[in-house]
Each structure stands twice: as structure tokens, then as C-alpha cells.
Amino acid sequence: MSQLATAIDLSSELQRVDSAVLKRFESRSILLNAASRYLLSSGGKRMRASLALLAARLLGEPDAERALNIATAIEMIHAASLVHDDLIDTADVRRGRPTVHSKWGGNVALMVGDYLFALAAEQMAEASDPRIIKTLARGVVRICEAELSPVTDVVPLQRTLEQYFAKIGGKTAALFECAAESGMMVGGGNDREVEALRQFGYEIGLAFQIVDDILDFTADEQTLGKPAGHDLQEGTITLPVIYAVEMGASEVVREAAQTFEPSPELVAAAVAEVRRICATKRAFADAERLVANAVKRLAIFPDSAAKDALIELAELVLRRKM
Amino acid sequence: MSQLATAIDLSSELQRVDSAVLKRFESRSILLNAASRYLLSSGGKRMRASLALLAARLLGEPDAERALNIATAIEMIHAASLVHDDLIDTADVRRGRPTVHSKWGGNVALMVGDYLFALAAEQMAEASDPRIIKTLARGVVRICEAELSPVTDVVPLQRTLEQYFAKIGGKTAALFECAAESGMMVGGGNDREVEALRQFGYEIGLAFQIVDDILDFTADEQTLGKPAGHDLQEGTITLPVIYAVEMGASEVVREAAQTFEPSPELVAAAVAEVRRICATKRAFADAERLVANAVKRLAIFPDSAAKDALIELAELVLRRKM
């Protein structure tokens, strides 16, 4: 995350997170080692680790070791949930590289995920704060719930928005929330401060996923590492689609959203229509509002480099291109 | 486990474990609730919970709440690993009932397993002893490793035995070991006492799996809930097969063990040959030796009802019929 270098330099800490993660991969199973290393070396931005590390610093210098433990556990949970998520979506490619299950098969992907969850639990035990373990375990529970909660239709608006926010709230925002919240716990925050960070994390997590869902319509195939309209192709209804229908898009959008395994032509037509009607702009306005709210949560904290960096991180969520 | 009633009555405690498990299933996901309840109500013997509860009592009355927490977490980990194991083995039936993935599909089975692991982590946080969390997390790591460690051939004997014991050591014995070890931690044992229980759990866990592997050859289809020779059918090499080949069984045994998807006729012929040559008796002698060793580990503890019950539990492993 070199983009954050102006306010605070996390690079050496993030490197320590990466080596802490890799150090854990000393399994007797060659396959588990190989697949775990492959997964963790696939160039993630370590957003969640950064969030935890910065939240921990908001009230002064935290216990660096404990902050690192949390950040490491969170990145492991994130990797575990990605590998299981890809297995459920039967996604062959992530960040332009073959997924673990397409490279080694579903059984390895299943076990690598379980293995990383277990390593994360072990890592959390090092932090030895039961509140943090509970927070992260609850985060995983919410990820599981969200995986099994589909957005069932694009209308009626009220219901579909509820389903969408419930889904991305678990799938993505839960772990951002846990990262910020547990970081603040390590940093010694009181209940009000922990709650402020929880909401900060939740809101930027929602914004992160909304931007992700927008990019699936606006980014080119090379940047995405997969064709645009991938979500529609997979039957996943996201905010731009919901808004497009609400804004009176042609029938092609709803048709693509409701057809089981729509043709690439139908998906391409729906993508063009979502763009034409500027539904992604309306979705982006929601993301901006969420980030603005999140930043306001930080008002209760004294000014500091960590606070500036958290604000930067929140705004970075809106600027990301992939 | 009414069989243990003579030495000590665990029934009310095991009922509390069951209700503690069920109480945790308050997910917002209807599917997660339904599948988790289904899984946990499928009539397991709660061997691992009993082991933890009895180990905790070996030095006197333990903190009942903490012992219960551990026992509950262990049963959840056990259930999670079963549901993922069935997914890997594509087993349609367990204990005579459809498995979760054959009833609800692979994605639900995947998420139910993750969900139960997360609930177990949350439950462990209640125990708030980092040593115990580490022990159980390490147990899950070993289960994952074992899932991906096949027994590759029936010969040479030395290598195949090493592979077999490594496999069942992780797949089954690891969780027995964790149960006994963490129970003793709750019970306030010193390092030597914790180590004795760890080995006790490990040895009866190995014996448990050996008996399981024997039953796959000797029990009838009705008792097993699946046809005899199921392991051979699935390409899993177990101790009776290894010994049968070592004892000079006809070529049909090795052929069945090495053929990819052997015919039911080939499997039936191999099962008959393994029985004829009494390879299961030799495997059973190993299980008896392991149980005898396990019981000796308890010599360092004063006589008590809990000790008698642990000895009974160890011997019960040899007597089980399914």
C-alpha cells in the first residue's frame, strides 16, 4: 500500500505481517504449503491488515507484537475465505492468476481454507484477548451466512437493497469491521472508541464492495483479469443492476439478472445498458456517502498521523481501479 | 454413552454439551441452522466430549463451565471436520442418513463446516486459556494435513505402515488427543499430567480408527449403513489390507487396493480374502496393544471414578460395533 506513504509508512509492518503469515506455513503437507504460499503471494493489497494496524495506533503506540498478531490472523482469515469463496463460485481466475482449486483441485482448496482458518485461530491465541477471538470468530460466522444469502431479484427495490446490503455486509464488510474493531481493542480503546472503529470498518467495507461491484461494469477485461459483467454471468445481482432497473433501464438488464446462465451476448447488452443509464454513478454516490460517514466516526479521536492515514485509506477505497 | 454409567454418569453433562451446541445455532441463515442441527442430531456417541469431560475430572472437581466449553468446542470441530470429510470423499451416507452435501449440496456443506469451525473458535474464546485454543487449532491443522496425505501403496510394509499411522494420527487421533489434553488443562494438570493425557487420547484415537477400519471388513451392511469394503471402493488403504498383503493374501487384495474405482465384485472378493486370512485379527491386536498402553498412562493418577470411566472408555473403543 505505497499509496498510504504520505501519512504513515506501513510497509515494514506489512512486510512483517507477510513473513509472519509465511512463517506459519510449515505444514508437513507439501500440498498445503505450496497452495497456501501461492494464495498469499498473489498480490493482495493487505487492506485489512493496514486497517487493523492503523486502528491500533489511533490512541498512541500500541503493543506492536499484538497488533501484528491481529493483522496476521485477519489476512489468514481473508485468504481462507477467498479460497472457499472461489470454490463456491467455481471461479477459475482471481487477480489474473488461476485459483487454488483450478490449479490443485477442489479438495486441496477445501483443506487449504480450513488449514488457514486453523492457523488464524492459533495466531489469535497469541493475542490472548478473548474479546478479539470472539470478534474474529463472529466475523467468520457472518461471512458464512452471507455466502448462503442470495439477492433473489432486482425488485422490489426495498427488499433487493436489504438483501444486497445484508450480503455484502457479511461477505466483505464484516472482516473490515473486525479488523478495525480488533485493532482498536489492541490499541486500548474504550467501548465508545471500539464501536466507532467498528462502524468505520463496516462502512468502508461496504464502500469497498460497492466499488468492486461497479468495477465489474466499468473496468476493462485486462484490469479485472476477467470479462466485464462477470457477476451477471454468475447470477449475482449487485447494486448497479438494482439501480439500473429502478432507473428504468431496458428489459435486457432484468432479463440478464434473472436468466440462469445467460449468454455472453445478453450479459454484454446488459452491461452496456447499465453503463448507458449511469446506474454505476448512483451506486458510486452511495459508496462516497458511506466513506464520508466513516470518516466522521473518527472525529472523536485526536489528530494524528494514524488518523490521517485511516482517512486516506477510506478515500483510497473510492479510488481503487481493481 | 450409557455404557459408561457404571463408573460415572456423564449423561446430564453430555446433554448440556448438546444443548450448548444447539444454542449456538442461531444463525440468520435458515440453511446454516437447518444443516447444522441435522448434522449434530445424527446420533454421534460424543466420545470426544466424554473424553474431555473425564480428563478434566481426573484431579478432582474442575470448573464445570470451562470443561463444558471445551467439550462443546470439540464436538463442533468434530462435526465440521466430518462434513468437510464427507464432501471430499463424496460420501452420500453417514450413520445410515444422507450427508449434508447430498441433502443440501456442496456449497452448503462447505459453509456449514466453516460456520462450525468459527462457532468452535468463539466457544474456545469463552474458555479463555490460550494454551487450549492453540491445542485445538493445532488439532485442526493436523486434520487438514491428514486429509491430503494418502496411503499410496500396500507395500513396502514399513513405508505403508508409516503412511497409515500418519494418516489416522491426523484424521482421527489428533482430535481425541486434543480432547484429552485440553480436558487435563482445564483440570489443572501439570506438564507431565497433560502429556500423559495427550498420549492416552492419541493412542485410543488410533485404536478407534483401526477398529473403524476393521468394521469396514467385518460388519454387515445394515450395521455399517454402507456396503462392506467401502474404503477399498474409495481407494483408501487401511490396516487390514496392509496386513492381508503382508500375510500372503491372494493377488486380489492388492489388485483391489490399486485399481482406480474397482468393481464391486473385485471389492467383494478382496473383502472375503482379507477375512479368510484373518488380517483383521492382526489389526485388532494392534488396537488392543494401543489401548493397553493408553491405560498404563493413567497409572500416575490417583484412583477415582473418573479414572475408572476413562479406562472403560478406552476399552469401549475395542468393543464398538459401529
Interface contact A140-B130, CB threshold 8 A: no
Q: Which one of A89, A101, A114, A142 would you mutate to disrupt binding with B, by most B Cβ within 10 Å of its Cβ?
A: A114
Which cell goes with B118?
468459527
Q: Residue A62 and residue A218: Cα distance in Å, rounded?
A: 40
Nearest CA in chain B to A141: B115
- ipTM surpasses cut 0.85: yes
- With CB atoms and an 8 Å threshold, state whether B27 touches A141: yes
CB contact under 8 A, B27 and A134: no
Q: Do B130 and A128 touch (CB under 8 A)?
A: yes
Q: Do B144 and A28 touch (CB under 8 A)?
A: no
Q: How far is B253 from chain A (nearest CA, A)?
A: 27
Q: What is the pLDDT tens value at each position of chain A, 322 positions in all? A: 445 545 688 888 888 888 888 887 777 788 888 888 888 887 678 999 999 999 999 999 989 899 999 999 999 999 999 999 989 888 888 877 888 888 989 989 999 999 999 999 888 887 768 889 899 999 999 999 998 888 989 999 999 999 999 999 999 999 999 999 999 999 999 999 999 999 999 999 999 999 999 999 998 777 766 678 989 998 899 999 999 999 999 999 999 999 999 999 999 999 999 999 999 999 999 999 999 999 999 999 999 999 999 999 999 999 987 6
From the list A121, A125, A149, the residue facing B29 with the nearest CB is A149
Chain B residues within 8 angstroms (CB to CB) of chain A: 27-29, 31-32, 81, 84, 87-88, 107-108, 110-115, 117-119, 121-122, 124-126, 128, 130-131, 133-134, 136-138, 140-141, 143-145, 147-149, 166
Report the residue of A24, A81, A141, A143 to disrupt the B interface, i.e. the one with the largest count of B CBs within 10 Å: A141
State residue A1's pLDDT score.
45
Reported pTM? 0.91
The model's pLDDT over B71-115, given as tens digits with 9 standing for 90+, comes to: 999 999 999 999 999 898 888 888 778 889 889 899 899 999 999
Which band of pLDDT confidence, cut at 50, 70 and 90, is reported for residue B148?
confident
Domain B9-319 fold: Farnesyl Diphosphate Synthase (1.10.600)
Q: How many whole angstroms separate alpha carbon B286 and alpha carbon B253?
A: 21
Q: How far apart are CA A185 and CA A59, in angstroms?
A: 11
Dihedral sign for Cα atoms in the order A154, A158, A163, A165: positive
Cα distance between residue A77 and residue A184, in whole Å: 18
Question: Which among B110, B121, B148 has CB closest to A88?
Answer: B110
B144 vs A114: CB contact, 8 Å cut-off? Answer: yes
8 Å CB contact of A133 and B122: yes
The residue of chain A with its CA nearest to that of B31 is A148
Q: What is the pLDDT of residue B5?
A: 47
Mutant choice from B110, B135, B136 vs A, greatest count of A C-beta within 10 A: B110
The CATH H-level (homologous superfamily) assignment of domain A8-319 is Farnesyl Diphosphate Synthase (1.10.600.10)
Residue A258: how many other CB atoms lie within 10 Å? 13
* CB of A133 closer than 8 Å to CB of B130: no
Quote the minimal CA–CA distance from B186 to chain A in Å. 16
User: In the structure, what pLDDT confidence band is assigned to residue B2 with cuts at 50, 70 and 90?
Assistant: very low
Strand pairing category for A93-94 and A97-98: antiparallel
The residues, ordered by sequence, that sit 6+ positions from B119 with a Cβ below 8 Å of its Cβ are: A137, A141, B24, B25, B76
What residues of A are in contact with residue B134 (Cβ under 8 Å)? 122, 125
